[in-house]
Amino acid sequence: MKYTQAGLGRIFIIRLEDGETVHAEIEKFSREHSISAASVMVVGGADKDSHLITGPAKGREYPTIPMEHILKDVHEAAGVGTIFPNENGAPILHLHMACGRESSTVTGCIRSGVKVWHVMEVILIELTDCSPVRAHDSKTGFKLLEI
């Protein structure tokens, strides 16, 4: 385990609009408001044809081959994630979302493109005085949080 401490900064309440791509809009907002680190919660609707990364195809084998799931219809959605800068200082969102419809739910990373269905509410809590960075890990291919 590795850890660091952070302070609390600003708190933003954001409404994403129909058709917007969740990760792209939150990262754009973060750049525009000079947010490099944050905790993020989202709730709303995920549109059909949204893409989720739902795990590695072969467990712990390398290289990691992601599996992608495409939503075939509109889903209720709730997610939680973090923002930390990459090696170039750009804020990068890492958010996992559970998307449900009727009695079926799929959970995955939104990085491949989850589109908003009508509206998605976001609470973004800025973290200050911290130094973690998302850096490329050659073994997994992931951008892992370095503390």
Domains and CATH numbers, the chain: 7-146 (3.30.1330.80)
Whether 140 shows a pLDDT value over 90: the answer reads no
Percent of the chain with pLDDT over 90: 92
134 beta partners: 86, 145
- Angle at alpha carbon of residue 67, lines to 123 and 51, rounded to 5°: 45
Question: Mean pLDDT, to the nearest integer, of 37-43?
Answer: 98
Is the pLDDT assigned to residue 83 strictly greater than 90?
Answer: yes
Does residue 63 have a pLDDT over 90?
no
Question: Confidence band (pLDDT; 50, 70, 90) for 106?
Answer: very high
